[in-house]
Amino acid sequence: MAVAAPPIRILIGKVGLDGHDRGVKLVARALRDAGMEVIYTGLHQTPEQVVNTAIQEDVDAIGLSVLSGAHNTLFVRVLELLKEGGAEHIVLFGGGIIPDDDLPKLKANGVRMLFRPGTAMGDIVDFVKGLRT
């Protein structure tokens, strides 16, 4: 009898001063409904808090929502902290209002995928499921 693989564990976070959480809650619910274990850290987290929680919870990936315009700073800081913590295996993806010009730089720094407003929930779920293939 084959042993089922454990569910994908995802930390969903809101970093910085951004107080808009409707979208991130919808993403968290869609991932949960697709069979993943989701840890939602709530509003106003620091990159340090997000990374520490991700390491403690042994997650497969971190999904950040940034609508404040601080995406270049916050995503890069999370990647730096993952590296410092020996947790580079944790995939970072995110979403928010990110200008076209910033997408290539963030991906070059190590953000695996970026989703913007209007993305279908199924696309996000499919991306996260694809982390195991």
Residue range 73-114, pLDDT digits in tens: 999 999 999 999 999 999 999 999 999 999 999 999 999 999
CATH number assigned to the domain comprising residue 82? 3.40.50.280
Say what the pLDDT of residue 16 is: 85
99 assigned to some structural domain: yes
What is the band of 48 on the pLDDT scale with cuts at 50, 70, 90?
Answer: very high
Residue 4's pLDDT band, with cuts at 50, 70 and 90, is confident
DSSP state of 84: H
Q: Report yes or no: 132 and 8 within 8 Å, Cβ to Cβ.
A: yes
Residue 133 pLDDT level (bands cut at 50, 70, 90): confident
Q: Which of 33, 9, 24 is nearest to 131 (CA)?
A: 9
Average pLDDT, whole number, for the chain?
Answer: 95
The domain tally of the chain equals: 1
pLDDT at residue 68 in the model? 87
Residue 37: inside a domain: yes
- Angle, CA of 50, 13 and 5, to the nearest 5°: 85
Give the H or E element holding residue 113: strand 113-115
* Structural domain boundaries, residue 47: 9-132
